[in-house]
Amino acid sequence: MNELLEIQDFVQEIAQATSLALNLNVEIVDNSLLRIAGTGLSKKKIGNYFRKEGVVNRFIFHKNLNKVIISSPGKDERCSKCDLYGKCDTTAAVYAAIIIDNETVGAIGLLAHNNDQSKIIDENNKVMLDFVNSMATLMSSKVLENKMIVELRSSLKFNNIIMDSIDKGILIIDNASTIKEVNDYMLDKLNMNKIDLINKPIHQFFENFDLESIEEIDDFETINELDYNFHGRHLKLFYRFKPIAVDNDITRIVLIIDDEKDIFKMAKQISNKEITFKDIISSDLNFINFKNTAKEISSYESTMLLVGETGTGKDLFAQAIHNNSIRKSKPFITVDCGAIPESLIESELFGYEKGAFTGASNQGKKGKFYLANGGSIFLDELENMPLYLQQKILRVLEEQTIEPLGGTNTIQVDVRVISATNKDLAGLVKEGKFREDLYHRLNVIPLNIPPLRDRGNDVIILSNYFIEKYNNKFNKNIIGLTEKVEEIFRRHDWKGNIRELQNAIEYSVTLCKKDYIQIEDLPIHIKGSTGLVQGTTLKEVEKKHIEKALDKFGLSEKGKLEAAKYLGISRATIYRKIKEFNIA
């Protein structure tokens, strides 16, 4: 690429300005010896090539000299190889290399063609050298600037190509809420031309956009409403955003925009793992019959209550039920009622309007019921639902409406509710800890999931399934369980059910160094429950196991929940055990 030729107009301006300032002729050549610019006699030669045997080529380009000054070009020994030696019309010359990134890309020369001009060069050698070197540096800077502009244009073109290939709307605004860029997808969505949006205030099209709240948050996670109202056309859109700061000042804000269909599709992709009844493994005839019954019932729209001990797979059944229903293409949203602090659960379920409470986002927030519209919502650990919220859940079931926290208008939703518990809800009703009307409304079709200990040989079938899973994960080749371990597994009560079994297999696979999992590879609480740990009571083994889990995950709220999951026990159980064993 001829870098000087790309800025030829600028180079010619430098040549003319220099010639006027010094009363000398100027010529500028690139590293292919092509004259790029010139004045006086050299101007007529623009577009022609320098002589290869000339001083410029031999000393500037071949010997990599930064500066060359020749008082008598036609007589100087350095010019002896030139075919113009002895008859050169140049009486004095000063050349400087134009250098970019340590590479000589050209040269600029000051030329004298009479005695007066020669005198200027001869009497001011140092000044001439410094001046011509400054002009060379100026052109180097211009070349670099031009390269940056070309790269910037290429980057912008590339970014625009990327933006236009994204299957979502993109708006880029500045810190004055002016639209600076928009992609094709967004233009199609709004049925507008780019010229109608660029450099226009965003509020002209989206009345409820709030720039102040944008500047408070720095991620793409928060979903906010954006109402498009223009020329009688109305669209309900949603956006996420990312402020772009330079030196801690926000200069641009990127908005990723979806419509309602996109949001519900995204919610489904995030939450629905496509679990089907085929993924629920069993060889036990009674459990297979139970699974077939659940599958048959799932195709109806009735509310379902899954009851079973912790770790029995209630979440898997809930997903399989959803994916076997007419709602399978819609969102499946899970809410762990036991993991969300009571102070936040209402806003998580029903959302909130902006400014609904201290610390609330100025954009408000959509709740789980809203995101589940058209699909299913799974309320896990239902027994932890606060009494004051149970009335609202009842209203959703009976009227199919929700009211966001701090709002005054109700929103119509179409949601199938699947709930789950490991408690006796009827007993909680008698104790006044659960609303009777909500219990009957949720308990339309109850499904009592059998525990692992009642599923015959499934404990071995599932063990082999998990061994294969963790073989792949840990790059191992374990064949299965020894006969003694199989016997222990069949006798173990598996209070944590499948979750406990999965954790036990993961633990054992990591320790196993043979073809089959041995007794010594088993978690200590399973060996302890079989009397294989001498001189230690079961309670001591249990306490030690819980302490090790808490050491691993920490004593924070999140750590306790992770420890419970690791141990295959419920949140309530680990809190009870922490209190029982006085674990700090």
Dist. CA 368–CA 350, nearest whole Å? 6
Neighbours of 203 (CB within 10 A): 13
Residue bearing tokens 């269909």? 261
The pLDDT of residue 338 is above 50? yes
Cα–Cα distance, 226 to 158 (Å, whole number) = 28
Higher pLDDT, 78 or 466: 466
Q: Taking 80 as the threshold, does the pLDDT of residue 219 lie above it?
A: no
How high is the pLDDT of residue 103? 85
Q: Which residue has the higher pLDDT, 452 or 210?
A: 452
CA distance 124 to 144: 30
**For the ranges 18-22, 137-141, 155-159, 395-399, which has the lowest average pLDDT?**
155-159
Which band of pLDDT confidence, cut at 50, 70 and 90, is reported for residue 146?
confident
Q: How high is the pLDDT of residue 101?
A: 82
pLDDT of residue 444 exceeding 90, the answer is yes
> pLDDT at position 165, please?
66
Provide, rounded to the nearest whole percent, the portion of the chain with pLDDT above 70: 87
Range with the largest mean pLDDT of 152-156, 225-229, 383-387: 383-387
The more confidently predicted of residues 475 and 339 is 475
For residues 237 and 234, what is the distance between their CA atoms, to the nearest angstrom? 10
Q: Which residues contact 514 (CB under 8 A, 6 or more apart)?
A: 478
* Average pLDDT along the chain: 83
**E strands of 285-412, at which residues?**
304-307, 332-336, 376-380, 401-402, 411-412
Range with top average pLDDT, 189-193, 359-363, 467-471: 467-471
Among 397-411, 420-434, 534-548, name the one with the lowest average pLDDT.
Answer: 534-548
pLDDT in tens, 512-530: 999 999 999 998 888 765 5
Q: Is the pLDDT of residue 255 over 90?
A: no
Burial zone of 469 (CB within 10 Å; 0-12 exposed, 13-18 middle, 19+ buried): middle
Per-residue confidence (pLDDT) for residue 41, from 0 to 100: 84
Lowest mean pLDDT segment, chosen from 11-15, 184-188, 334-338: 184-188
Q: 154 or 281: whose pLDDT is higher? A: 281
- Range of lowest pLDDT (43-57, 65-79, 419-433, 507-521): 65-79
Model confidence at 535, in pLDDT bands (50, 70, 90)?
A: very low
Q: Taken in order 557, 563, 569, 575, is the CA torsion positive or negative?
A: negative
Residue 541 pLDDT exceeds 80: no
pLDDT of 269 over the 60 cut: no
Q: Is 68 exposed, middle or buried (0-12, 13-18, 19+ CB in 10 A)?
A: buried
- Range of lowest pLDDT (73-87, 511-525, 562-576): 73-87
* Three-state DSSP class for residue 404: coil
For residue 223, name the pLDDT band (cuts at 50, 70, 90).
low
Q: How confident is the model at residue 18 (pLDDT cuts 50, 70, 90)?
A: confident
